[in-house]
Structure 1
Amino acid sequence: MATQILIRGGDGTRGGYGTAGDVRVNKTADGVDLNEIWSEIKDATDVFNEQKSAIVSLLSYQTTRAGDAVAQDVLAERFEHATEFGVPTGISEPNYLKIGYSLGDYDKATRATWKYLRDASAEQVRDRVRRIYDADFRLVSGLVLERLFTPTPRTNAEMLTVYGLWNADGMVPPAHMGKTFDGSHTHYLTTNGTTLTATHVEGLAGHLKHHGYGTVKRAQLILMLHPDDLETSGMTAWRAGVAVGGVTPKYDFIVSSSAPAFLTAEHVEGTKPPAEYAGLPVVGSYGSVFVVESHFIPKGYVAAVASSGPNDSDNPIAVREHEDADYRGLRLIGGRGPYPLVDALFSRTIGVGVRHRGAAVVCQIVAGTTYTAPTFDFVR
């Protein structure tokens, strides 16, 4: 006897009964059962949600809250001399800033109709899903990087300000170890020249260190840039004390352990940079900074980030998901009918916001002093 399957309309009302034996199509053109492919896709989606992008993970922290009060300074506490009758002072109170995170809904359909499934191979069906995964990766990484490279603040639905990095908006960053700032302090810089030099990289690292990152606060400084910009800069050939284009580097660029084998009369003093850091391939190091090249970084822009590790609350960006666990991650939603693969769609609820305004600094490689944010093409 054929199995009866209740079919409901989109509003939840009954739309009649169909039988599995009466469906128009139940396998692909090469004979693979649609239920088998559906199970594969569900399992693959679970795995995809578990494997987060290394770049996004090292830049961000997962949350479900609409906003937080986050300390923007890195305090270095010191003991004091004890006296017989005196009472010790308490630790200092951090400077908290009320910050918000955006939240939006995004979706994409496979548009696999019963006719398409009847005439397509199983590999063609799987390829449509792979393209969905690629679009979702670009969505998540695009949201994070757009927030990182864009100084313009926004307001979320809860009327909280979604900030960028420090951007000369009149807000004064907290002082650190005697270093003070004013309302014109910005972490959106330009090279004021067409080539990235050692002086620029040293300045980017300094912008993080004078807020305590990489010094008082244990964090790995990471420089991220497009492969074309890495090649144009000639960074891998920088040597301490050897001028390049009128600029003299303070440090040697040291290639990572993943570099191709080569002959040299030089030897490395100290620890060679690792082949990867938390899953992110490392080209090498310049001073205390790990250098990473990625096509996801807009060409003509560089970002220096203080990362405390994957999904750490001290990372600069927050990635917000829905409070209800059922609406988190990339969701696979089946279509109506006995075979949910027909007209299935994928959905994600996600938002972003800067948590620590001083934990990253970006720079545009341009012959000028006015920073212009890049354009990201990850959503229609």
Structure 2
Amino acid sequence: MNTYRYPQLTGSDGTAPGGYVTEGDVLVNSTADGVGLNAIYAEYRESLELYNAERSALVSLLSFSTTRAFDTVPQGALSEGFELASEFGVPKAAGVPVDELRLGYTFQDYDRASRLTWRALRDMTQEQVDSVHRGILEASNRLVTTSILARLFDPTQDLSPEGNAVYGLFNADGTHIPDFMGRSWDPAATSHYLTSGSATIDPSDVESLIRMVKLKGHTASGQRLLLLVNPSESETIASFRVGVESADLTRARYDFVPSGTAPARYVTERLEGAAPPVEYGGLPVIGSYGDALVIESMFVPSGYVAMVASGGPNSERNVVGLREHPNPAYRGLRLIPGNQQRYPLVESFYAQSFGVGVRRRGAAAVVQLTPDATYTAPSDRKW
């Protein structure tokens, strides 16, 4: 049995009892409704295991887990293709990549404490104690999700702890853009950060995003195009109809087709082709436009729309790498006893370590709904 040294306390008779206090003498060992503190703490540890196993659906569709500090991407090859074979000749060997680009991932440590005094625990029910735990879980989920989306929507180049460049999407920064199906792009003029020219999204904006991602080859391996929108933009997108002229004087090439989650309505049109699914990767789908499934999320900042090629939950083909520590003990959200070791619930530390970086720079494109010609990343208050 553990024993703990307590400061001298003055008894009712004015004497100072001092000495050692055993575990059975602790002032509070259960909540007001009789639930043991150690039992609640053990339950929280189990809930964190489930939480880490089932990451947010949005995070999972946009990212993949990695423990690497960086990935390398070939920037070209020496080979000029096949040549005519001769009867006695020796074929020319394919060249090795002439250059490689390091795509780094940031890495930071985050923490939060839960501190409940013995008097608070004496009067709190388990439900009240649980509310603190749930609040921290929500904060952790928000931190990871907004970190990934912030990397997606921000072209600003960052630096990893090891000194490697951490990139956003292609941003006309001169880095090589791989050719696809004989098509090439000017790396100094091609950016995946666009502006709409107005404060309202038009069908042409969405169609530009679709083309930009598809032409880079990021749907050739089975990825699905996802149009991520804030609810403030989804109503406008739901009104898109083929052939109808929009504010920018262009005509929509496709219809918005609602999914089975749409409210009941009277229709006279006949649907040709497959209806959009009601969900993808655990996220509800409100409909489709062209090749893209439209997904509504409050995490997407208002005034911005993103087109993302997703390979599915935690697929290596996803856009953003979510870097975790090589040691499994330091991955995910961890619950650590604080200084009050006898009943860790009295003081608990929640710790999390991760970083982000774009691995596939052409697998997404975003548009800011603004009349300005220059793209500006969302500010902190938009998240």
TM-score, structure 2 normalization: 0.88
Decide whether the 8 Å contact of 1:102 with 1:352 is kept in 2: yes
2:203 is aligned with 1:189: no
Partner of 2:119: 115
2:10 match: none
Residue aligning to 2:154: 150
Contact preservation (8 Å) 1:154, 1:161? yes
Alignment of 1:78-227 (within 5 A): 96-182=100-186, 183-214=188-219, 216-227=220-231
Report what 1:11 is aligned to.
Answer: none
Counterpart selection for 2:243 from 225, 241, 244: 241
Deviation at 1:168, TM superposition (A): 1.4
TM-superposed deviation, 1:237 = 2.3
Query: Do the aligned partners of 2:75 and 2:176 also contact (CA within 8 Å) in 1?
Result: no
The offset of 1:104, in angstroms, is 0.5
- Three-state SS of the structure 2 residue aligned to 1:237 is coil
1:360 to 340, 361, 364: 364
Letter in 2 for 1:172: H
Quote how far apart the aligned CAs of 1:142 are: 1.1
Instruction: Please state if 1:52 is matched with 2:49.
Output: no
Query: Is there any run of 5+ residues in structure 2 with no aligned partner, and where?
Result: 6-18
SS for the counterpart of 1:332 is strand
Alignment equivalent of 2:302, drawn from 290, 299, 318: 299
Counterpart for residue 289 of structure 2 = 286
**Aligned partners of 2:90 and 2:155: how far apart in 1?**
45
For 2:126 and 2:348, the matched residues in 1 are separated by 15
1:218 Cα shift?
A: 2.4
Letter of the 1:354 partner, please give it.
V
The answer as to whether partners of 1:72 and 1:358 remain within 8 angstroms in 2 is no
CA, structure 1 residues 169+6, in 2 after alignment: closer, same or farther (shift >3 Å)? farther
Partner SS state of residue 326, structure 1: helix
Could you tell me which amino acid in structure 2 is paired with residue 211 of structure 1? Answer: K
**Structure showing greater Rg:** 2
Residue 341 of structure 1: aligned partner: 345
Q: CA deviation at 1:240?
A: 1.2
The question of whether the paired residues in 2 share the 8 Å contact of 1:190 and 1:371 is answered with yes
CA distance in 2, matches of 1:247, 1:210: 21
Structure 1 residue 313 displacement after superposition: 1.2
- Counterparts of 1:27-38 in structure 2, within 5 Å, are 27-38=30-41
Q: Could you tell me whether the CA contact under 8 Å between 2:3 and 2:23 is conserved in 1?
A: no
Name the SS for the 1:306 alignment partner: strand
State the TM-score, normalized to the length of structure 1: 0.89
Change (3 A) 1:144 1:18: farther
- SS of 1:128's partner is helix
Structure 1 residue 126, shift from structure 2 partner: 0.1
Aligned partners of 2:230, 2:116: CA distance in 1, in Å? 36
- Name the SS for the 1:110 alignment partner: strand
Look up the equivalent residue of 1:44 and give its one-letter code.
Answer: S
Q: Aligned partners of 1:184 and 1:293: how far apart in 2?
A: 31
Alpha-carbon distance between aligned partners in 1 of 2:312 and 2:92, rounded to the nearest angstrom: 33
**Compared CA separation, residues 199 and 378, structure 1 to 2 (3 A):** closer
Q: From the superposition, tell whether residues 260 and 241 of structure 1 become closer, same or farther in structure 2 (CA, over 3 Å).
A: same
Q: Which moved more, 1:25-34 or 1:95-104?
A: 95-104
Correspondence for 1:63 among 61, 66, 80 = 66
Helix, strand or coil: the match of 2:217?
coil
Q: Does 1:350 align with 2:347?
A: no
**What is the aligned counterpart of 1:252 among 251, 255, 274?**
255
CA-CA distance at 1:372 after TM superposition:
0.7
Residue 14 (structure 2) aligns with: none
Secondary structure, aligned partner of 1:341: helix
Residue in 2 that maps onto 1:5? 2
Change (3 A) 1:202 1:89: farther
When the two structures are aligned, how many residues end up with a matched partner?
Answer: 364
1:310 Cα deviation from its structure 2 partner: 1.1
**Deviation of the 1:276 alpha carbon:** 0.5
**Cα displacement (A) at 1:89:** 7.1
Equivalent position of 1:320 in the other structure: 323
Deviations 1:129-168 (A, max 9, x none): 0000000001100110111111111111111111111111
Higher mean alpha-carbon deviation, 216-225 vs 137-146, is at 216-225
Structure 1: where are the runs of 5+ without partners? 9-15
1:32 maps to amino acid: V
Deviation at 1:366, TM superposition (A): 0.6
